[in-house]
Structure formats: C-alpha cells, structure tokens
Amino acid sequence: MDHKAVQQKWQKAWEDEKIFEVKESKTKNKFYVLEMYPYPSGSGLHMGHAKNYTLGDASARFKRMQGYNVLYPMGYDSFGLPAENAAIKDNTHPRAYTEKSIANFIRQQKELGLSYDWSRTLASHRPDYYRWDQWIFLELYKKGLAYKKTAIVNWCSTCQTVLANEQVVNGACWRHEDTPIDNKELNQWFIKITAYADQLLSGLEKLDWPEDIKQMQKNWIGKSNGVDIHFALEGIDTLLPAYTTRCDTIYSVTFLCIAPEHPLAIELSKGTSHEAEVRQAIEQSRKQSLIERTTETGQDKIGAFTGKYAINPVNGERLPIYVANFVLMYGTGIVMADAHDQRDFEFARKYNIPLKFVISDDGSPINPEKASCAFLSDGVLFDSGDWTGMHNRQALPEMAEWIEKNGWGKQTVNYKLRDWLISRQRYWGCPIPMVYCDSCGIVSVPEKELPVLLPEDVTFGSGNPLATNRNFVETSCPSCKKPARRETDTMDTFMDSSWYFLRYCDPHNDKKPFAKAKVDYWLPIDHYIGGKEHATGHLIYSRFITKFLKDLGMHSIDEPAKRLFNQGMLHKDGVVMSKSKGHYVLPEEVSEKYGIDTARFYLFFVAGPEKDMEWSDQGIEGAFRFMKKFTEFLPETFTSKTDPKEESVRNKTIRDVTSYYESSTFNKALIELASFTDFLRNKGSFSKKSAETLILLMSPITPHISEELWEKIGKKPFCSLAKWPTFDETKIKPELEAEDDFAEKVRQDMLTLNTLIKFKPKSHTLIISAAWKYDFYKKLKEELAKTRDMKTLITSCMVKGHESEIAPLVAAVLKDPSRLPDFILSQATEKKALNTLLPKLEKEFDSHITITFAEQSQDKKAANAMPGKVAIVAHE
C-alpha cells in the first residue's frame, strides 16, 4: 500500500466533504473532546505533540462512530511572550510570525489525520477573539472582581514583566528557572479569584480528574479554618488581629510577630528607640530573595522588637510585638507566637524571648528553660484556665467558640490562594480596556468601543512597548471627553485560555462571546487532554472564569471539564522530546518512511497513554511489521458462512476493544486487535463481517488505512462515519477459542483414566479442581462415576470465595482412614495447593498417585506427543 497516496487521498476527502464539521443536534448525544490549545511555536510540531493530538483524535473518532455528536475543535494560544521575543530576534512582527506559525501548525496537524472541525478554529491574538477577553474583563470590573492595587509583585527581569503567583516556580520565573523573581512594588490589575476560592475547592469533588491534580489544586487553594484573635495594642485604641489555626495554645502565647511587609510594622516602632532596628530587620528580610525566604537553606530567623506591647485578651498578659521575617502576608500578617511552633521557638531563642508550654503528653508541666525544641504533638492541656486537663484537639473547637463568644476574636476561614495578577508589561497580548483620566480617574472603555485594538506599530526594547505608540496611548476620556491615557499593560495570556473552550461552541459570534444555548449543549468537556503542568494555572483559571460566566447568566455550566486526562511525555534519548534541545523526531520523517498510521499505532501500542514513553526506532519497525499484516489481511474472497469460533473471537474482540477504548487504554486494545488480525490471517478464509469488524475497530488509530480497506471491500465511504460494531455476548464461547480443542483432550483423558482406574475399582479417589475449570471438573466426575461407585469419590471444587473448603475436606479425609484416597486427581494448576497437601496425606498412607493433565502444559507440541495426554507420577 502506498501510504503517502492513501493518506493524501483520504485527508483530502475528509476535508472536501467536511465530514467532521458538527452542529448542535436535538436527537444525538454530544461528546466534547479537547486537547489544550497549543501555543503555536515557530518551530512546529514534533512527535511528542503528535502523541498528544492523536490521543484526542482516537477518542473523538471512537465516540463519533459510537453515534455521538462529537465536538472536536482546535485553536491557538497565539498571544504571548515567546512570539514577541522570537519576532524581535528574527526582526519580524509578532503578528506575521504568529500567523505563519499557525499556518504551519495547521498543515502539520492535517497531515497527522486529525479529525478536527476546522470551521471552528480560533486564535487568541485575533481581534474577533480578544475583544471578548476585554468584554469579560469589563464584566469582572463591573462586579468588582477586577481591581487595581499597589502591591509587592513578582518581577522577572528576563521577561521584563510581572508574573502571577501561578507563574512562579521555586522562586524563579516559570520560563527561566535561572532567573530568580524580584519583588517590586507596582500598581497592577488583579482579578479577584479568591472570591471563588470555596467554590473552586468544593467543585473538585465532582470531577473525574487524576487524584494528584485535584490534590495540587486543593493545596494551592489551601483552605484552613482558624480564628482571628484580637490583641489590643497597649496604650492605643487599636486591635491587632492575629490569625491562628491553633487557638488551643492561646495560653502559651508570649509574643506577637508581624510580617515585614505589613504596613503596621514600621508604624508601630515609629517614635520608639527601636525604630532603627526594625527598619534594618525589614530591610534585611526584603533583601532575602523569595528563594531564600521560602526554602530550607535560607530560613534564618530575622526580626526586631517594635517597642510595643499587645494584651492577650484571654489572660491579660503583656506580649511584646516583633517584626519577624518568617511571617508572611498571609491571613492577617500577624501571628501569635508560642512554644508549640518550631519557628516561633527558634525565633524566641534567638531574641531571648521567654516561652511557655501548655500542652504535654500527659498534661504535666514542661519547663521552658530546659526545652530544646517546640512541642508539636497533640496532648493534654495544662496552665490553660478552665481548659486545663482537656485534650487539646477536643478543646480546640470549643475554645474557638469561647473566644468568639467573649468578643476576643472571630472564627475565620483562610486561603492560600491569592488574587490573580493579570497586568503584563509586554506588547503581544490583549490590551486591558481601561483609560486613565486626570479628572475622572480610572474609566473603563465602553462596551461598544471594543475591541481596543492592539496597535501594529510599536518600538521594542525599552520598557513597555505599547507606551511607545502615542496614537494608542493618547485618547479621550469616555466619561468627560478630556484627553486621557490608555492602559499600556496587556493581559496575562492565561486570561485568553480561561474561556476558549466556550468560544469553540460559537466561534463566529460577533454579538457576544457565545450563545448560551450552544454552550449549554456542548459543555462540559467530556474528555480534556493536557499536561500536568497546568494543574495550578490554566486549570484553576478556567474553572474560575467558567463559574464567573455562569454567575453572569451566560451559561449554566458548573465545571468546564468533567474528565481530565494527563498524557505522558514522549522521550527521546532519555529526555522529554524537545526541539530546542535537539531531542526530537519529526512526524513528517516517520510518515514518509512508514506512513502516519504506523506512527499513530506505535504511539498507542507501547504503553498506556498516560505514561511517559521512549521513542524507539526498533519499536516503530515492530509496529510497521504489524501494519503490513493489517494492510494485507484481506483475502480474495470471503466465506459465506460464519463459523461459531470465528464469531466468538469477533464478538469477544469487539467487546474487549470497546471497553479498552472507553477507558483510553489503547495499548491493550491494540494487542487485542493484533491478535484478531493474526487469528484471521492464520484462518485464511473468513467472513466479510470479520473483515469489517477489524477495519472499523482499527479506524480510530489507523484512520487512513481503514478508509482504504473499507473502500476495498466495497463499502461506501467513510468508515470514519460508520457505525461502531456491536457484540453479542451469547456468541462469545471461550471454549471454542483458546481451549477449543480442550474438550477433545478431556475426552481422551477420560478414556485413559478409565483404563487406569479399572485397576483398583474399589479404592477412593480424591478430585481437586478449581472453579475456573468447573465444567472440566463436572465432566471428570461424571466420567469417573461411570467406572466407580459414587461412594468412592471424594471431590472438591474450589469455588472462588470458597477456596478454604479444601482444608476441611482434607481434614475429613484424614479423620476417616477408610476414606483415604489412593488417587488424587488434579490438574497442573493446582500443583501448589497439592504441594502443601501431599505431605499431610503422605503421613497417613503408603502411596498415592497424582495425575496431571497435559493440556495444562504450555508446550502444545509436548502435549500432542503424549499418548493419552496423561502423565502419572507415583509418590513412594
């Protein structure tokens, strides 16, 4: 078969006939398959990408054939820094660079035979898409969920822009692991994702997502229950709230700590003799890079006394207030400190602050002077007023109630999740539709003026590129019409990707982002394929925006993706395939040599799709050998009758392969299909039905060859749209298959047995058989009964779940010597059980015989060579 010609023929036919284009249907059930839309890099696709897309394609094709109305679109995450940098480097415009890259991507993807509905393709850098980014931003702004504030933010000096928390990895930029994040104080746009923290957390439970991803999101959201305890500032009428999850240790508090970033840190010390020290401590901890501050290596405690005291509301004790570097601006930015926390303990030791314990294993006091470390475990409270003697975990919720009731504090829930910083000081992104007016302040661009177009003409190199285009910057205030300035920052591209899957449902709508009915029909995504690296980024943002748009009444969907699938990475030379690092295989090359279907087959065959796998040139040779068999499996003519065995294998193959496809375990499906192919080829002549079945079952993986063969057997195109074969369970007869000659063997075994048994017609015979050979066991018993009195038969079938029956049986035999068997009939499979039994039995009588049936032997040749197929071993 000429792979190249076949591929081109069918790819063209699919495209000409637009067979993968879909629309909403009242009668068909929908199925939405999606791969995370790619960033269209200029270097194009390698085999690793191909693996990802064919994974979605196989699912889409499978579901389509099962009769679902399958939405399977593709688009491009085409804004972003890499395009800007690449364009600067090649001295071209990011738009030209991006459009070219997209065209190249599409060409390559079509060559993979992917069954996308190309009529829905979108790209986030195009105004017809990003105008709705701006629209969503304005909706967020209207609802108070988009706001501008000055804050200490993450700055990457290589990217020359700020980053969201989600884009900081180990204290460094997600794109530059060697560029530590700088802390800068800037005025930036934030999205209030924290307003949805609780929903984002509880929504996880319903999702059919990998456990580790759910866990990562849980940790990222980081919900904790605690109490804000109000400590009065001594001498001043101010309350300092300190967040704690351990209010059971309130009696052990000996000082308070405040984060260096906290506005009060400096304020408190002002005018005291400690001001200089405090300033120095703040300065020092600021100098510590985020890496030092959050990793084990740089956990030196730095701090200073502010000169002020607070009052413990519970017992009126005076507590010195310290600035401490280990306290983060989380919760209230103030913590109460005691001997039941290792960090507090270390800090106290360093600055000679007294400590107090209130929990010990048995409630007996601990001398703080002698303690060498904090007491972190749970135990019994002491020196804790009325709570003394109680177990701390039991006391904790009650104490929280008690504190709140007395007005000393308030029970609070805290999250680690922070608001999403979306401002970027770069050009190639969606403009933030805001205007700064000297008289009106921050004014939003009216909806009818959207989109705020990204200007073509900017100068790169010094600061924010958009600021270099005066025509863009200089505008008039939408409110008072006086001269005003446009926002020159662009949006984080994660904003673009947080709703693109909704736009696919209605990609050409120019009145609104999408029609509600269409989204309600297609969503949620039934099978979302993408990498783990998006666990705490895109996958949280998109859930958030989906929920927000639902609250706006835009659609009725709770969660964007019902099932998430993390594909494994394709490796080359032991490392993840990557063009920039030079470890890659190109789909074109493989396609040229073996045909793309071979590559698709190989990618699915080696391992489960969720596993990382190594590309192997020998491996693809093996796949090619199979593909050759497959392309040549059709006989000259088909048999008119189907024989039961063939039907059995065919139905079983449909059943198993369908269930493997259903669970995306393609590797096992392909093993079944390979063995079905071998079965048919060995058989030589078979029915047309079997041929059809094989072609159809293969077609999600090898669509081009399947189409070709489908045509060859006289079927109308397209097999891609043909009905998925169904199976009839009643036609599946295992005994006809692998064990098809089993019955015959058993019969012969019986004859041999009969002769054997005739020698001692009055002795007992013990039969042990296993449940999965129940039919065999029954037959054996019947046969023996013909030659022997039933009383002389002692039998047992180890039914599953009743395996231990064999023990009482043996016990019964041993108890009654008259029932001692002189034959033990068994099968090879029970030899392990027998091995444990034989020694027991051997003690009781002189000899016995074990008979093993040869059909259990793996070696068919040996079995056939054996007359009677029974082997006898006599034990002395």
Partner RNA sequence: GCGGGGGUGGCAGAGUGGUCAAAUGCGCAAGGUUGAGGGCCUUGUUCCUUAGUGGAUGCGCGAGUUCGAACCUCGUCCCCCGCACCA
Q: How far apart are CA 138 and CA 444, in angstroms?
A: 7
Integer Cα distance of 750 and 372 in angstroms:
80
Residue 208 to residue 562: CA distance in whole angstroms: 6
For position 618 contacting RNA by CB under 7 A, the verdict is yes
How many angstroms separate the CA atoms of 551 and 548, rounded?
Answer: 5
- Map residues 740-779 to x or -, x wherever contact with RNA holds by CB under 7 A: ------------------------------xxx-------
| Distance separating alpha carbons of residues 857 and 739, to the nearest angstrom | 12
Residues 791-850 that bind RNA (CB under 7 A): 798, 800, 803-804, 806-807, 828-833, 835-837
| DSSP symbols for 213-243 | HHHHHHHHH--EEEEEEEEEETTSS-EEEEE
When asked if residue 224 is in the footprint of RNA (CB under 7 A), the reply is yes
Is 606 a binder of RNA (CB under 7 A)? yes
d(CA 274, CA 265): 11
Q: Which is nearer to RNA, 65 or 327 (CB)?
A: 327
319: three-class secondary structure by DSSP: strand
Element (H, E) at 491: strand 490-491
Show the site string, 334-353: x = touches RNA by CB under 7 A, - = not: -xx----x-x----------
Contact between 666 and RNA per CB under 7 A:
no
How far, in Å, CA of 671 to CA of 697, rounded? Answer: 12
Q: Which of 282, 327, 450, 705 binds RNA (CB under 7 A)?
A: 327
For residue 387 the two structure tokens come to 């709570």
Three-state SS at 783: helix
Shorter beta-carbon distance to RNA: residue 222 or 478: 222
Give the interface segment with RNA, choosing from 175-183, 186-194, 485-493, 861-869 (CB under 7 A). Answer: 861-869
What is the closest distance, in whole angstroms, from the C-beta atom of residue 418 to RNA in the complex?
Answer: 9
Edge-to-edge strand list for the sheet holding 483-486: 441-444, 434-437, 483-486, 474-476
Part of the chain binding RNA (CB under 7 A), chosen from 194-202, 307-315, 331-339, 512-520: 331-339
Question: With binding defined as CB under 7 A, does residue 611 bind RNA?
Answer: yes
Binding residue (CB under 7 A) for RNA from 265, 535, 554, 824: 535
Q: Could you give the CA distance from residue 630 to residue 627 in angstroms, rounded to a whole number?
A: 5
Residue 608 engages RNA in binding (rule: CB under 7 A): yes
Select from 106, 186, 201, 328 the one that contacts RNA (CB under 7 A).
328
Site string for RNA, 284-313 (x = CB under 7 A): ----x----xxxx-xxxx------------
Distance CA 264, CA 243 (A): 16
**3-state DSSP assignment of residue 721:** helix
- The least distance separating RNA from the CB of residue 624, rounded to whole angstroms, comes to 8
Among 176, 391, 416, 731, binds RNA (CB under 7 A): 416
259 binds RNA (CB under 7 A): yes
Q: Are 359 and 340 in contact (CB under 8 A)?
A: yes
Least distance (Å) between residue 21 CB and RNA: 35
Nearest distance, CB of residue 619 and RNA, angstroms: 5
Q: How many residues bind RNA (CB under 7 A)?
A: 97
Residues 680-739 that bind RNA (CB under 7 A): 734, 739
Q: State the DSSP H helix or E strand holding residue 69, giving kind and residue range, or none if neither.
A: strand 69-71
671 contributes a contact to RNA by CB under 7 A: yes
- Residues 160-179 within binding reach of RNA (CB under 7 A): 169-170
Nearest distance from C-beta of residue 532 to RNA, angstroms: 6
Quote the CA–CA distance of 232 and 317 in Å, as a whole number.
11
The span from the CA of 870 to the CA of 94, in Å, is 79
Among left, alpha and beta (phi > 0; psi -120 to 50; other), residue 5 is alpha
Question: Of the candidates 20, 243, 548, 666, which one interacts with RNA according to CB under 7 A?
Answer: 243
Shortest distance, CB of residue 212 to RNA, whole angstroms?
A: 4
Nearer to RNA, 315 or 377 (CB): 377
Helix%, strand%, coil% for the chain, nearest 5: 45, 20, 35
Question: Which is closer to RNA, CB of 336 or CB of 529?
Answer: 336
- Indicate the residue among 167 and 425 with the shorter CB distance to RNA: 167
Residue 259 near residue 276 (C-beta atoms within 8 A): no
Of 18-26, 237-245, 637-645, 789-797, the segment contacting RNA by CB under 7 A is 237-245
Interface mask toward RNA for 72-111; x: CB under 7 A: ----------------------------------------
d(CA 546, CA 548): 5
The 419-458 contact track toward RNA, x by CB under 7 A, reads ----------------------------------------
Give alpha helix (H) positions in 222-360: 263-269, 275-287, 290-294, 342-350
| Alpha-helical regions (H) of 124-178 | 127-142
Residues counted in the chain: 876
* Residue whose CB is less far from RNA, 60 or 851: 851
Residue whose CB is less far from RNA, 121 or 829: 829
- Separation of alpha carbons 360 and 354, rounded Å: 18
Q: Could you give the 3-state DSSP secondary structure of residue 173?
A: strand
Of the ranges 5-13, 56-64, 85-93, 529-537, which one interacts with RNA (CB under 7 A)?
529-537
* Binding residue (CB under 7 A) for RNA from 11, 244, 392, 425: 244
Burial of residue 781 (CB within 10 Å: 0-12, 13-18, 19+) is middle
In whole angstroms, the minimum distance from the beta carbon of 678 to RNA comes to 7
Least Å distance, CB 644 to RNA, is: 19
